[in-house]
Amino acid sequence: MARLSSRDDLEALRAQIVERLDPERKAVAVCAGTGCVAYGSYKLTDAFRAEVERLGLDVEVRATGCHGFCERGPLVVVYPQKIFYQRVQPKDVVEILEKTVGEGEVLERLLYEDPVSGEKYTYEEDVPFYKHQQRLILGNNGRIDPTSLEDYLSIGGYSALAKAMFDMGADAVLEEVLAAKLRGRGGGGFEAGWKWKGCKEAPGQPKYVICNADEGDPGAFMDRSILEGNPHSVIEGMIIGAFTIGSSHGYVYVRNEYPLAVERLGIALQSAREAGLLGEDILGSGFSFDIRINKGGGAFVCGESTALMLSIEGEVGEPRAKHIHTVEAGVWDKPTNLNNVETWANVPHIVNRGSGWFSSIGTENSKGTKIFSLVGKVNNTGLVEVPMGITLREIVEKIGGGIPGGGTFKAVQTGGPSGGCLPESMLDLAVDFDELTKAGSMMGSGGMIVMDQNTCMVDVAKYFLDFLRFESCGKCVTCREGLKRLWEIVDRITRGEGREGDLELIEELSECVADASLCALGGTAPNPVLSTLRHFRAEYEAHIRDHKCPAKVCKELITFTIDAEKCTGCRVCAKKCPTGAITGEKKKLHVIDQTKCIKCRVCYESCPTKWAAVVVE
């Protein structure tokens, strides 16, 4: 692409691209997000391309960013009708091209069927999973090829940058972002505008702009999908931020475990550079700014801003006290403005559509939308983008489609490992930064794990404590030793060795870990154990006093036996038992040898439901 040296160049190029676009053009968009790639979407794309060539069709095959509905991948949308197919396999390709693309016929078997109502949906926007969302940030993922700058330009890309530089000027952009009350999507929820202002006014040069893409929460993948699906939106946000603040250097700190995000971001940076949208004298404005990718080694704590900055410097990633803010002294002690991927991706929208529009979405103190990765025991897992203020119930039931297999909802864990578990009674909570914090959880970066009746809340607390005791940087005694001790106590409880006084000790120690640790990791680490204790105390007590795990999860507290009256001697369980603990001849009662049983549940799950002879107590 020729280098663009003015705003007119940019708009002329955009006009050219848009003119070439034919809204009636036949196209097949295949999701190439990580989830769908794992389901085989690359093979599917190849199959589409090969068939299109073989049949000599005039059909565009586009590999797009993540559509969000990962549960049903690989996903395919057929244009121009926008017919939505799910779980598509290479064997479906010929039929799709011949019937749907060729004749407009809808293939029933590939449509999404609501697991609750049984209703089938033809178009993406009608599918309940999408219908209740508001996809400002994620919406374009499915429309564009993330490796194509032209695609991004075709949907208005970099027009916000041009507007910011040529119409508004740095001060007006800052006013707009301040007025929008955009809060940091990485977890802290600090207002981005105030951060920008602080950095802009701080003395010292150069100033740095950082995009935090060190997404480390188990089960969270929203930043990954934005970077993989629409990297230019993040880059544009960062350039606007840098222009506003007066920064010439930017970093994207991204996990090395996100190879696809790193690759696509690299392609996007290179093409933006070649087009004159990044680097020296951007669009002839006189403003210069470039971005480097810094790959993180995978330490969870490096998502903490000060640890991240030390890691960029090549030091051990340990948080430091923020008595002097990073906007004054960040990377190499220079003024540094750090925002999360999703925060940056919001910026072009705010510049283009104005703070009034942005702050019309959401609640009083939490504006705009938020992306959550909805996972766990819920029918429709995937990425959901919703306006702030939506209730948990709407997310879990309407978008998530409820609990699979006729199960019942028990809790939803929000905010990642430092978030909390909220019970059924709190499902009508309006989801925003402040309400979640008040409820003992937090927004975090947007993880949302749904749990059903088969989840033991003590076990859940143990899982998160285990994660955190390994992922704490280990600097503060309270966090390093405190989390280890909390884990030990909870681990003991799950093994039936809980003692009177344990729960009080958990509370006392948790308070100290949260109060006396240096950074937010320690400050929030007790949330999972405290919130489960607060809402599910009886479950802890059952473990300690009765040595029972009510959810029948904790291995030391359950036994598997075979009901003599129900067992038909079919040998299914005996064949599947990995330790050979089940004996019994065909058509005779089977018995589980408790000394050999490792409580893997295979017998319980494999016993035909009509007999249900394996009993867990």
Partner 1 sequence: MAQVVTYTIMGAEHEAERGTSLLAELRRHGYEVPSLCFNENLSPYGACRLCLVEVKKGRRQKLTTSCNYPVQDGIEVFLDTERVQRNRRMVLELLLAQAPKAPRELRALADRYGVTDIRFPLNGDEECILCGLCSRTCRELVGVNALTFSGRGDRKHMGTPYAEGSEVCILCGACVHVCPVSCIDLSESGGNRRIRRWDRELPMLVDEFGVPTMTTAQAEYMARRTGMPVETFGTLPAQRRSEK
Binding part of the chain for partner 1, among 76-84, 287-295, 509-517, 577-585 by CB under 8 A, reads: 509-517
Helix-strand-coil percent breakdown of the chain, rounded to 5? 45, 15, 40
Q: Does 477 bind partner 1 (CB under 8 A)?
A: yes
Q: Please, which residues have CB within 8 angstroms of residue 497's CB and are 6 or more apart in sequence?
A: none
Q: Does 57 bind partner 1 (CB under 8 A)?
A: no
* Closest to partner 1 by CB, 354 or 474: 474
Q: Report the site for partner 1 in 478-507 (rule: CB under 8 A).
A: 478, 480-485, 488, 505
CA proximity to 224, closest of 241, 211, 237: 211
CB 525 within 8 A of CB 519: no
CB 145 within 8 A of CB 70: no
Binding part of the chain for partner 1, among 100-108, 141-149, 281-289, 514-522 by CB under 8 A, reads: 514-522
The string of DSSP codes covering 120-177 is EESBGGGSHHHHT---TTTGGGGTS-TT-HHHHHHTTTTHHHHIIIIII-HHHHHHHH
Going by their DSSP bridges, the two strands 420-423 and 582-583 should be labelled as unpaired
Smallest distance from the beta carbon of 190 to partner 1, in angstroms? Answer: 15
Among 76, 518, 557, 592, binds partner 1 (CB under 8 A): 518
Count of residues of this chain found to bind partner 1 when the rule CB under 8 A is applied: 33
Among 414, 517, 524, 531, binds partner 1 (CB under 8 A): 517
Smallest distance from the beta carbon of 485 to partner 1, in angstroms? Answer: 5
* Closest to partner 1 by CB, 484 or 601: 484
H/E run at residue 30: strand 27-31
Q: Does 316 bind partner 1 (CB under 8 A)?
A: yes
Binding part of the chain for partner 1, among 169-177, 259-267, 314-322, 340-348 by CB under 8 A, reads: 314-322
Q: Report the site for partner 1 in 121-140 (rule: CB under 8 A).
A: none
* Closest to partner 1 by CB, 253 or 560: 253
Among 515, 546, 556, 617, binds partner 1 (CB under 8 A): 515
Query: What Cα–Cα distance (Å) separates residue 562 from each residue in 86, 179, 571, 600?
Result: 40, 65, 12, 15
Going by their DSSP bridges, the two strands 60-64 and 27-31 should be labelled as parallel
CB 309 within 8 A of CB 290: no
Smallest distance from the beta carbon of 470 to partner 1, in angstroms? Answer: 4
* Closest to partner 1 by CB, 342 or 471: 471
Smallest distance from the beta carbon of 198 to partner 1, in angstroms? Answer: 16
* Closest to partner 1 by CB, 357 or 470: 470
Q: What is the largest CA-CA distance in the chain?
A: 86
Q: Does 204 bind partner 1 (CB under 8 A)?
A: no
Smallest distance from the beta carbon of 6 to partner 1, in angstroms? Answer: 44
Q: Does 301 bind partner 1 (CB under 8 A)?
A: yes
Q: Does 22 bind partner 1 (CB under 8 A)?
A: no
Cis peptide leading into residue 417 (ω within 30°): no
Burial of residue 56 (number of CB atoms within 10 Å: 0-12, 13-18, 19+): exposed
Smallest distance from the beta carbon of 468 to partner 1, in angstroms? Answer: 8
Q: Please, which residues have CB within 8 angstroms of residue 594's CB and are 6 or more apart in sequence?
A: 559, 581
Smallest distance from the beta carbon of 474 to partner 1, in angstroms? Answer: 3
* Closest to partner 1 by CB, 146 or 335: 335
* Closest to partner 1 by CB, 339 or 478: 478
Among 43, 49, 120, 320, binds partner 1 (CB under 8 A): 320
Torsion of CA 255, 130, 236, 278, to 10 degrees: 70
Q: Does 530 bind partner 1 (CB under 8 A)?
A: no
Q: Does 321 bind partner 1 (CB under 8 A)?
A: yes
Could you give the CA distance from residue 120 to residue 522 in angstroms, rounded to a whole number? 47
**Residue 538's Cα: distance from chain center in Å?**
31
Q: Does 333 bind partner 1 (CB under 8 A)?
A: no
Query: What Cα–Cα distance (Å) separates residue 328 from each residue in 178, 309, 316, 322, 337?
Result: 19, 13, 21, 10, 9
Smallest distance from the beta carbon of 257 to partner 1, in angstroms? Answer: 16
DSSP summary character for residue 299: -
Q: Give residue 298's region: left, alpha or beta (phi > 0; psi -120 to 50).
A: left
* Closest to partner 1 by CB, 189 or 348: 189
x/- track of binding to partner 1 for residues 244-283 (CB under 8 A)? ----------------------------------------
Amino acid at site 577: C
> Where along the sequence are the contacts to partner 1 (CB under 8 A)?
299, 301, 316, 320-321, 323-324, 468-478, 480-485, 488, 505, 508-509, 512, 515-518
